[in-house]
């Protein structure tokens, strides 16, 4: 996508945001602006009230700015309007009601930000959380070589935040498919959902440098140059750290013996497409890493037809 919506159209829909600009990537800027406008128009078509910045309005008398790609906060919490099916809404409520140790969980964006990728994860996989037979069929449709049987679908999950026996970090996965294997151990498909994001330059915490390098070296799957990610600024840093979290599970003395880290993203988000390609080139063994477009995931026919139609309407740009 080379040309996005005009500033006039965006401002009319309360969707002009300077942060949507991706320096040096006009295609990414265009996609981000189009995705924001698409969400605002979806909200309007469904009759949902407009949200604001800040997401949760402050005490009376303080000004807020309308944001077309958000829902009115109290309305969003009460109705679950950010979620496309009752099962997705139920999964979100269940997850929001519990706290994993040391978790960082943005409740406000979950309920009210239409662009929030963790919400996309609930919308994609919420129907599967309470129908494990369908979850198993779906997982083996998307990843046919996955062994075992799906026994659980988790959201916003980490095996252990700040746990040095894993990655000793706050990283987590947007969704996790837990597989019971024939030998009594477990497998995992760990999913990172991307929608509106651009790949920001980050640097892993230097205080965790030795642990990150240890997991990377022990895995034996990286080109030597990939180890530069441990102590340098890169757009691939977050992807690398989440993949390392998956690898740390496979190296753990516990139950995990098979795993794959999967990035789900729209085909039109060139920033994520390019990042996945560049990241894949750093691997000498690609078995534990995969990416799939949102379009291909929906086209596989693994989700209920009504859910698939609702996801296409909500997230795919025309």
Same domain flag for 129 and 180: yes
Looking at residue 99, its pLDDT comes to 84
Looking at residue 61, its pLDDT comes to 64
Contact 272, 212 (CB under 8 A): no
Total domains in the chain come to: 2
Contact 32, 198 (CB under 8 A): yes
Looking at residue 1, its pLDDT comes to 62
* Residue 124 placed within a domain: yes
d(CA 55, CA 124) in angstroms, rounded, equals 23
* Residue 31 placed within a domain: yes
d(CA 54, CA 73) in angstroms, rounded, equals 10
Q: Which domain holds residue 39?
A: 1-81
Instruction: Provide the 10 A C-beta neighbour count for residue 141.
Output: 14
Provide the 3-class DSSP secondary structure of residue 295.
helix
d(CA 223, CA 90) in angstroms, rounded, equals 42
Mean pLDDT in consecutive groups of 10 residues from the start of the chain, 318 residues: 89 98 96 99 99 90 90 98 99 93 89 98 98 99 99 96 93 98 98 97 94 97 93 95 98 95 99 98 98 99 98 96
Last residue of a domain, one of 29, 62, 81: 81
Euclidean distance between the first and the last CA atom of the chain, given in angstroms as a whole number:
11
Looking at residue 81, its pLDDT comes to 99
- Helices and strands: H and E segment counts in the chain: 12, 7
Same domain flag for 161 and 71: no
Contact 50, 43 (CB under 8 A): yes
């Amino acid at each position: 996508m080379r040309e996005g919506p005009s500033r006039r159209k965006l401002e009319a829909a309360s969707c002009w945001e300077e942060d949507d600009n991706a320096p040096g990537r006009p295609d990414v800027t265009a996609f981000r602006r189009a995705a924001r406008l698409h969400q605002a128009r979806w909200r309007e078509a469904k009759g949902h009230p407009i949200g604001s910045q800040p997401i949760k309005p402050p005490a009376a008398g303080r000004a807020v700015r309308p944001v077309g790609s958000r829902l009115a906060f109290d309305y969003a919490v009460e109705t679950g309007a950010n979620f496309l099916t009752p099962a997705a809404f139920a999964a979100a409520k269940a997850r929001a009601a519990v706290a994993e140790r040391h978790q960082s969980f943005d409740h406000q964006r979950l309920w009210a930000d239409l662009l929030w990728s963790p919400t996309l994860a609930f919308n994609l996989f919420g129907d599967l959380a309470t129908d494990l037979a369908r979850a198993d069929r779906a997982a083996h449709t998307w990843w046919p070589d996955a062994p075992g049987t799906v026994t659980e679908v988790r959201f916003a999950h980490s095996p252990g935040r700040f746990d040095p026996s894993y990655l000793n970090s706050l990283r987590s996965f947007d969704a996790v498919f837990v597989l019971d294997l024939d030998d009594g151990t477990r497998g995992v498909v760990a999913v990172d959902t991307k929608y509106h994001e651009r790949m920001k330059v980050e640097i892993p915490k230097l205080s965790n440098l030795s642990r990150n390098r240890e997991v990377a070296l022990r895995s034996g799957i990286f080109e030597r140059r990939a180890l530069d990610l441990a102590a340098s600024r890169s757009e691939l840093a977050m992807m690398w750290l989440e993949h390392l979290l998956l690898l740390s599970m496979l190296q753990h003395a516990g139950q995990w013996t098979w795993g794959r880290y999967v990035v789900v993203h729209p085909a039109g988000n060139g920033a994520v497409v390019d990042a996945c390609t560049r990241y894949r080139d750093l691997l000498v063994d690609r078995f534990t890493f995969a990416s799939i477009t949102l379009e291909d995931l929906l086209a596989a026919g693994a989700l209920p037809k009504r859910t698939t139609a609702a996801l296409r309407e909500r997230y795919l740009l025309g």
